[in-house]
Structure formats: structure tokens, C-alpha cells
Amino acid sequence: MRDRLRRFLGIWPRPIWILLVGWVINATGFGMVVPFMSLYFHKERGVPMRMVALVFLVTAVVRAVSGAVAGRLSDRLGRRPFLALAPAGRGASFLVMAFLVWKEASFFACAGVLIGTFIFAAAYQPVAQSAVADLISGERRLKAYAWTRVALNLGWALGPALGGYLSQISYALMFVLGSGLSMTTAIIVALGFPETAPALGGRTAPPSQRRPAGGSRRRIPQILEPLSDRPFVQYALATLFLYLLMAQLVATLPVFAVKTVGIGEDQLGHLYMVNGLLVVLLQTSVTRRLWRFPIVSVQIVASLFYGGFYFLMAFAGGFAALLALVVGITAVEMAATPGTVTVVSRLAPPERMGNYMGVFGLFSNAAWSLGPFLGGLLLDVFPARPVALWGSVGWLGATAAVLYAVFRHRHGDMASGGASIQRGERFAQAAYPDPDEKS
């Protein structure tokens, strides 16, 4: 038993395990709150969905700016400060939100603090993704990002299930528990995670392989320089539509499932629990089976199926139908999403990984914030026309597939496990070799 545990822990270096544990705890706290905020404002407080959607639209701007700034600064100041301070700030925001909910403060006060929690969330993600790329070589990154999805979705399996019950007891209590989980993440990272950024002596690239700062174009602000990289921008635009579609799972689906289909909030929590548990149990297996297929080709097919499953939501008549569709949606998520960050990490120079991840966050965070805004508008425009509602949502998947196909035509496909190793990655590969290659 001890030998099995040692072999299991040997799959990844210790810093990766710290990130994975932090991801689980952090996602549990965030997943406990986010899916139920639309319901709280709309059902408990009587706020029109247009106003709720507007809050998420505002978060699109602040999240994009927060992620881009954090990613760029982490290349210079290091990953560790942001990985600790971001969850700590979110925990503090959750505590303030708990107080406001308890006091039944105004919608605008609650919305302002909620936006603050998204700022901290956006600052964490690109830095953590960059840290993974710092530590793991190109040939193993797809596996590494698949494991981060397992950790993230384990939290999303636990969080919404807890939130579904807590929302029936006290929304304020839900925020208090979310705050404690976020603070726990901050403590774990602060105490155990080493610095990995190349500029501060991280293990990604030896000095001889780093490019000097300031060698790129100056026609746009330095923080936005990845936008001058045409392949990167084209890939990010395609992923924007994929993520817009993904956001409907936590934006449009909760209101539709509870108000139109008529399931209970506890059953809604169970849907998210199934989504998360499937990823936890099957993500690494799915990634292993798709290992030999080009990443972008997989994403083209997955985007089409993704849109199709959402369209079928229009015909769901109860919990069983919703559950079956969530299973299908989860399957295509597992096929498509680990490859997105993997492709970005291969397009980015190692010493500017945080900058590229942060600017990629402009697109992904915009999608996760614009998605609820779009979903809210569609719910208001088509309140009793589910085919029009979910047909409009399904077109996002078709658009993503077309844009991915354009990217593949212009820039070629991205091999999965056999991609070429970039500058500096041989150093990371030597420091943390693949355990699979030892057998």
C-alpha cells in the first residue's frame, strides 16, 4: 500500500500536487456560490434577469483586466505572491458578501462585492496555469492540464452539491464557508509552493535560453503584446466561442432547469455534482485515449457535439433528461478543454508564459462573464420558447468549430503527445521526467 501511494505521488513533482490540492479547495468554495447567485438575485430578491446579466457583463471587463495584469506581473514578480493573495482576497470578499446577504443589503451593494470576488478569481487562474507550464515539459502538459481539470471539477462536484443544500438554509452561511475554503487555499500555497517563474530563478529555462526583455514590438502596450501574435489571437477567438458555450452550464441552465423544467435546487446541485464527478473519474482516461489525435481536430468535433447537446436541452422534460444531457456535455468538455491551455502554452515563449496566459484570460474571462449576460438576455427574450433559446446557444458551438477549422487550415494542427519541445522545455523535462517513461 505504501509503495502504491509512493508511486502515485511520484506521478507529479511536489509543487504540482500543492497546486492541485489548492485547486480542489478553491473550486469547492467558488462552485458552492457561483451557480446559485443568479437564483438568489432573481428568485429570492426579485431582481430582473436583465439586471443580473448586467452584473456578469461588468465582470467581463474587470476579470479580463485582472487576469491580464496578474499574468504579466507574475513573469516579473513571481507566481507565488499571486497564487497566495488571490484566494485570500476572494475569501475576504466572500466574508463581506455574507454580511451583506445577512443584512439584506441592496442589490447594487451585493453586486459590487460579487464583482470583486471575480477579480480575485481571474487573477489566480492564468498564474496557476503558467506555473504548471513552468514545471512540466511540453510532452506532458496535456496530461498535467487534464489533472488540473480533475482537481477543478472535484471542487465543482463538491461545491454545487453543498451549495444546493446551503442555499435552502442560508445564503449567508454559504458565503462564510466559501470564505474559509478560499483562505485555506491561500495558506497552503503560501506555506508550500516554491517560486517557479524563470525571471526569478524558476526551473523552466536556463539563463542562456531566455530572451532578453523588451525585444518585442512596441506598437501596443507591453502587457498586450501577445495580441500581435496572429496564430495566438485566432486560436483565442475560437476558444472564446467554446467558453461562451461552456458558461451556459452555470448561467442559463440553472434558471431554465428550476423555472421552466421545474426541478428543485437540490436536484440542480446534483446535476453539477455529476458533471464534476465524471471529470474526476474519467478525465485522465479520456485524455489518454485521445492522446494520439491532434488537439485542434478533437476540438472541432467536440464543439459540434457540444452545441448539439445544448440544443437538445429544449426538449428536456424532467430531471432524468437534464441528467442525460449533462453527461453528454461533460463528455465533450473532457475531450476539448484540456487542450486549450496546452495549445496556448505551446504558442507562448517560456519567459512570457504568464503574459500569454493572462491575455488568453482576456478571452476566457470575457466568455465566462459574457456567457451569463448572453444567457440572461436569451432567457428574457425567449421565456417560453426553449427551442429558440437553446438553438441560439447551440450556434456558439458551430461557430467555435468553424473558427478552429480556420486556425487548423492556416497554421496546422497541434499534435497531442508528440508536439515539439519549445525553448527551455528540455530543462523542465530533465528536472521532472515523465514517470511513464521509466517503466
pLDDT tens digits, 144-163:
888 888 888 788 778 877 88
Q: What is the pLDDT of residues 169-192, one digit of tens each?
A: 888 888 898 889 889 989 998 888
Report the pLDDT value the prediction gives residue 285, as an integer from 0 to 100. 86
Structural domains of the chain, ranges and CATH numbers in brackets: 10-202+228-417 (1.20.1250.20)
Handedness of CA 359, 35, 124, 25 (dihedral sign): negative
How confident is the model at residue 183, as a pLDDT? 92
Report pLDDT for 212: 37
Give 60-88 pLDDT, tens digit per residue: 778 778 888 888 888 888 899 999 998 99
Model confidence band, residue 432 (pLDDT cutoffs 50, 70, 90): very low
Q: What is the pLDDT of residue 302?
A: 94
Give me the amino acid identity at 35: P
Residue 370 has pLDDT above 70, yes or no: yes
Per-residue pLDDT band for 424 (boundaries 50, 70, 90) equals very low
Q: Give the per-residue pLDDT at 200.
A: 67
Which whole number is the average pLDDT over 378-400? 88
Cα angle value 170/176/181 (rounded, 5°):
130
pLDDT digits (tens, 9 = 90+) for 297-342: 999 999 999 999 999 999 988 899 999 999 999 999 889 888 888 8
Q: Give the Å distances, CA to CA, from 163 to 18, 183, 267.
A: 25, 18, 11
The average pLDDT across 15-32 equals 86
